Amino acid sequence: MLQLWDAVEADFARDYGIDLRERLEHMSWRRFSVLLRNLSPYGAVAARAVRLRDGAAADDRQRAAAFFEDLRKGGGE
């Protein structure tokens, strides 16, 4: 997930209005992981993870959905 950190920061700001630079040290691991697993599948993390872009093929969208499903089940790094 560290290779995606800038995308994680961007999505937290966009999706939740949370600046991770200011709030991460005060956030529990559980809270962080819940929010991470529920980021938009069309945000920066998903785009970086599966190269999702405007007009992406259906299989790219399926890979994005699978990526977030795996995170929800605890399979993320």
Q: Is residue 27 part of a domain?
A: yes
| pLDDT by 10s per residue, the chain, length 77 | 667 899 999 999 999 999 999 999 999 999 999 999 999 988 888 877 765 444 555 566 677 777 777 777 875 54
Burial class (CB in 10 A: 0-12, 13-18, 19+), 43: buried
Q: Where are the alpha helices (DSSP H) in 1-77?
A: 5-11, 20-23, 29-37, 44-50, 58-72
Q: Is residue 16 part of a domain?
A: yes
Q: Which tokens go with 23?
A: 């709030």
pTM greater than the 0.85 cutoff: no
Domain range for 21: 2-72
The total of structural domains in the chain comes to: 1
Q: Which tokens go with 61?
A: 């969208």
Residue 58 half-sphere exposure toward CB, CA atoms < 13 A: 0
Q: Is residue 77 part of a domain?
A: no
